Structure 1
Amino acid sequence: MNKIIALALTIFLTSSVFGSSTCCSSQGGCGNQKSCQTKNDQKIIAEMMNLELNSMQRDKLRAMLMRHKMERKNSWSQLRENMYNVLTPEQKQELSKRLKTTI
């Protein structure tokens, strides 16, 4: 059940930003800077959810994301920062490696 929910959250996050991956890359850029930052934050959050997380971390990240979606907050960068603080140093390093290839 947890894997299904995590997969659904990942699909939800990546589907909203997948088509615009080149728009907001470091090479290109796009017309709306805030929109690009939001999309990049969502990509980073999706990558965090794809890391090997223990159940406590996964539950905490999922709760943060669901709370964010329910409250309709616009501060994706703040959510990204809060979720990043849950990760271990090894997971942060793995995330950094993954992001170098995707963003």
Structure 2
Amino acid sequence: MISCRSNLGQNLLTGKIPPSLGRLSSLQTLSLLENGLNGTLPPELGKLSNLQKLRLQSNNLRGDLPKDYENLKNLTIFGIAGNYLSGRIPTFIAKWVNLYAL
């Protein structure tokens, strides 16, 4: 399998994370850390079943983790520190058996 990565970290990006990123089904790494992204986490990212690394640290993201993220069972890294997320930690995270960094 060809490794598909998108590193858009530290690029002064602003606005909301585009839901259309959920159509990049081969994506294994998505790094949007240290930008000025805001709004909630798009549920569409839960369609990225091949995703292994999702790095969203140090933005201005708010709200809960979408239930759709339950499908991200291949995650090894899920970086969300430095945001304003709220709510309980979802129980579905226990199904992410490859996760070693949260």
* TM-score normalised by length of structure 1: 0.25
Structure with the larger strand share: 2
Structure with the larger helix share: 1
Larger Rg: 1
Higher-RCO chain (CA-CA 8 Å, sequence separation at least 6) = 1
